Amino acid sequence: MAVVITQIFNGISLGSILLLIALGLAITFGLMNVINMAHGEFIMAGAYTTYVVQQAFSQYVPESFFNYYYVAAIPLSFLIGALLGFVLEKTLIRFLYHRPLDSLLATWGVSLILQQVARSIFGAPNVAVTSPAWLDGGIAIAGAVLPYKRLFIIALVTICMISLYLYLDKTAAGRKMRAVTMNRSMASSLGVSTKKVDAAAFAIGSGLAGVAGCALTVLGPIGSTIGTYYIVDAFMIVILGGIGSLIGTVFGALSVGMLGTIAEFWTGASMAKVIVFVAIIAFLQYKPAGLFSARTRSLE
């Protein structure tokens, strides 16, 4: 019984982590059609930001407040990710909107550079982030322990999803963003500055990568190459869900998470990875547009 609960929880938890990583891509890749191979490095930037905030807190802030460094780190990671994304959009991406495959290659170069820069600043070895004390421990349910950290990530990704939903759905800026992704020229004919909207959208997607990086610090390593571990999974989740569909990304992440944990439980971690990827490839053969496809009539 405990195992079943734990495994279901693990599936949701892994799904939520994958969702957090893919959420930013769902915007930059899903809505804007930019293949940003440096997305993983924005995750890295978020993780290092968390590290820096922790260091700053341990040096300049009374010890009793240390545990709140993480509260400060989340928005800061978002800002750093967003800033990097903004700069990247302004200097590179906006010239490549009509060449999606070229943006893939150029951002690959960016990713090489960012990794090296991180190594030069923080050194090659991993750095440690001590997760805040209030995230230690877990809830015990029927013999299974649900760690607070994983619950926290589930909560965080839920909050990110809701904020993103509210932003896109309830604010003027979000409305403009949806309008631009739906019909760029019409939006501009209404007076919407598409350049600003593009930069803002890209910054938000990148900022979410930063938040993902921040969240990952409580679970895993923080080093210059962490982005590379997640990037392919994240892209696959977005296409599995269906490009342009946020809800598709949610389902994509959760199904990959569930399938991954189930397969790993019965086989092993390596075979599970193989099974998940083969399943995704096979599914896309059957439904090329993904789980939630936004069908269009365009020919080419």
Sign of the alpha-carbon dihedral angle for 231, 274, 150, 154: positive
**Among residues 66, 86, 97, 265, the one that binds another protein under rule CB under 8 A:** 265
Number of shown-chain residues binding another protein (CB under 8 A)? 105
194-216 vs 69-91: helix crossing angle, rounded to 10? 140
Using DSSP's 3-state secondary structure scheme, residue 295 falls into: coil
Structural tokens at position 136: 């230690």
Of 131, 110, 114, 118, the closest CA to residue 50 belongs to 131
Site for another protein contains 66 (CB under 8 A): no
- Nearer Cβ to another protein (79/106): 106
Amino acid, single-letter form, for residue 230: Y
Distance CA 60, CA 56 (A): 6
Candidate segments 71-79, 97-105, 154-162, 200-208, binder of another protein by CB under 8 A = 97-105
Of 81, 76, 77, 73, the closest CA to residue 42 belongs to 81
Which residues in the 167-206 window bind another protein by CB under 8 A?
172, 175-176, 178-179, 182-183, 185-194
**Among residues 109, 141, 163, 166, the one that binds another protein under rule CB under 8 A:** 109
**Among residues 52, 74, 106, 208, the one that binds another protein under rule CB under 8 A:** 106
Site for another protein contains 67 (CB under 8 A): no
- Nearer Cβ to another protein (158/193): 193
**Among residues 71, 99, 134, 162, the one that binds another protein under rule CB under 8 A:** 99
- Output the smallest distance, CB 8 to another protein, in A: 11
CA geometry: angle 235, 177, 81, nearest 5 deg: 55
Candidate segments 57-65, 75-83, 154-162, 271-279, binder of another protein by CB under 8 A = 271-279
Say what the alpha-carbon torsion angle 154, 160, 161, 167 is, to the nearest 10 degrees: 170
**Among residues 47, 73, 110, 214, the one that binds another protein under rule CB under 8 A:** 110
Amino acid, single-letter form, for residue 119: R
Candidate segments 60-68, 204-212, 247-255, 283-291, binder of another protein by CB under 8 A = 283-291
